[in-house]
Amino acid sequence: MAYLFTSESVSEGHPDKVADQISDALIDNFLAFDPESKVACETLVTTGQVILAGEVKSNTYLDVQSIAREVIRKIGYTKSEYMFEADSCGVLSAIHEQSADINQGVDRASKEEQGAGDQGMMFGYATNETENYMPLALDISHALLIELANLRREDTEIKYLRPDAKSQVTLEYSDDNKPQRIDAIVISTQHDDFAPEAEMLAKIKSDLVSILIPRIKAKYPQYAHFFNDNITYHINPTGKFVIGGPHGDTGLTGRKIIVDTYGGKGAHGGGAFSGKDPSKVDRSAAYATRHIAKNLVAAGLCDEVLVQVSYAIGVAKPTSINVVTYGTSKVNLTDGEISKVVENVFDMRPYFIEQRLKLRNPIYSETAAYGHMGRTPETVTKTFQLPNGAPKTVTVDLFTWEKLDYVDKVKAAFGL
């Protein structure tokens, strides 16, 4: 029997994502000037206020207020009527030094034996139902909000948009787990107060269906055939969304971990990513398991896969590696046997993950909105500024865990 599956996304202006982006901007600035920085930084945003808290071990000093304000400005909170504005909000820092008890378990005389920054389990997932090996419902949910943000910044076709927004896509799947069509789309977008409520709602719904949806179909032609005339649209279903962003809801780092990963497909170990340097395996090992999963599916080993890894704090070697192929494996091996081969192909000790994926670079701001997985790898040049110091320009590789650079090794290991 056919079934429905739903995933959601949130925009860069969503309060939780504002917090994530500030935390990751701090990570990038610390790593730009001291690649060995150890950072765990949490951000809280609310009406007119930003509060930074966390632990840092670094040889550099940052103007955290300026960094936070620049992030807020870039997102689009630049008007006083938003009740949260880049130049006028308060920024309070309660960042202090990292615990020596934790640090002694991570730093070792031999870098290769660097211990995991925490215990826990991390998951990576991949499926061949999309070109980027991501779940389709999440991919479309992200696309809707990326394009909505583009429309807001263009300020030509739709002129009333504000930064906060959420989306949700429900897909109908066939008995053999293949996506067939979009059943429902939910979009809630913050907006100016420009007309009586009923008139505003009608205008917003009309614009999103007639302007946003055609742009999605044109920009993502691989998804166009999933759109149909029977989609149920819920556009701003409360009727009005003028009060939003951190003024409407308090935002916290790390509260959108399913949006950040696979939209409810696969599994999640529970650890957030943003605000953590790569010694924290919550982040680095989640990227590494995605890298494994994507390369396994791209190599043709299976159609869908979930990879789990787990660690003990201060211990380099994982306590377990597990691969689940959901019965889609193309080789004559059990999932347990596949796991053993994967363990030999991918070194999952924290130091080797950092080296393989180039994680001690300032690459994290770009991850903090619209998902950490399924993104396009690229090389970019970025410039950072210390207080009273000269600018520093660095060239870095983004989204290295999305590279299909281990496909040949996987094929060789499994005889594909």
Dihedral angle at the C-alpha atoms of 270, 272, 276, 282, nearest 10 degrees?
Answer: 30
> pLDDT at position 106, please?
60
Checking if the pLDDT of 91 tops 90, the result is: yes
Nearest to 1 by CA among 231, 135, 173, 136: 173
178 among the known binding-site residues? no
> pLDDT at position 114, please?
84
**Which residue bears the tokens 């389990």?**
121
Token pair, residue 167, equals 């989306």
Checking if the pLDDT of 104 tops 70, the result is: no
> Per residue in 2-24, pLDDT tens?
999 999 999 999 999 999 999 99
User: Which helix H or strand E contains 407, and what residues bound it?
Assistant: helix 407-414
Token pair, residue 299, equals 């190599």
User: Which helix H or strand E contains 148, and what residues bound it?
Assistant: helix 136-154
Buried/exposed 374-408: b ≥16 CB within 10 Å, e otherwise: bbeeeeeebebbeeeeeeeebebebbbbbeeebbe
55 among the known binding-site residues? yes
Token pair, residue 282, equals 């919550």
How sure is the predictor about 115, in pLDDT bands with cuts at 50, 70 and 90?
Answer: confident
User: Which alpha helices (H) appear in 208-264, and where do they start and end?
Assistant: 213-219, 245-248, 257-260
Q: Where in the chain is the domain with CATH 3.30.300.10?
A: 3-9+135-242, 120-128+278-414
5 among the known binding-site residues? no
Checking if the pLDDT of 102 tops 60, the result is: no
Phi, psi of 410 (to 5 degrees): -65, -45
> pLDDT at position 100, please?
53
Burial class of residue 360, CB neighbours in 10 A (0-12, 13-18, 19+): middle
358 among the known binding-site residues? no
DSSP structural state of residue 211: I
164 among the known binding-site residues? yes
Q: Which amino acid is at 228?
A: N
Residues of the chain above pLDDT 70, percent: 96
How sure is the predictor about 58, in pLDDT bands with cuts at 50, 70 and 90?
Answer: very high
42 among the known binding-site residues? yes
14 among the known binding-site residues? yes
> Per residue in 180-195, pLDDT tens?
999 999 999 999 999 9
382 among the known binding-site residues? no
What is the average per-residue pLDDT within 131-146? 98
Other CB atoms within a 10 A radius of the CB of residue 181 amount to: 15
Question: What is d(CA 103, CA 93) in angstroms, rounded to the nearest whole number?
Answer: 22
- Contacts for 286 with CB less than 8 Å, ≥ 6 apart: 122, 123, 124, 261, 269, 271, 273, 372
104 versus 243: the higher-pLDDT residue is 243
How sure is the predictor about 118, in pLDDT bands with cuts at 50, 70 and 90?
Answer: confident
Other CB atoms within a 10 A radius of the CB of residue 114 amount to: 20
> pLDDT at position 388, please?
79
249 among the known binding-site residues? yes
How sure is the predictor about 97, in pLDDT bands with cuts at 50, 70 and 90?
Answer: confident
Q: What pTM did the predictor assign?
A: 0.96
How sure is the predictor about 387, in pLDDT bands with cuts at 50, 70 and 90?
Answer: confident
What is the average per-residue pLDDT within 212-239? 96
| Helix, strand, coil abundance in the chain, percent, nearest 5 | 35, 25, 40
Fold of 3-9+135-242: GMP Synthetase; Chain A, domain 3 (3.30.300)
104 among the known binding-site residues? no
> pLDDT at position 88, please?
96
Indicate the class that CATH gives domain 120-128+278-414.
Answer: alpha beta
165 among the known binding-site residues? yes
How sure is the predictor about 99, in pLDDT bands with cuts at 50, 70 and 90?
Answer: low
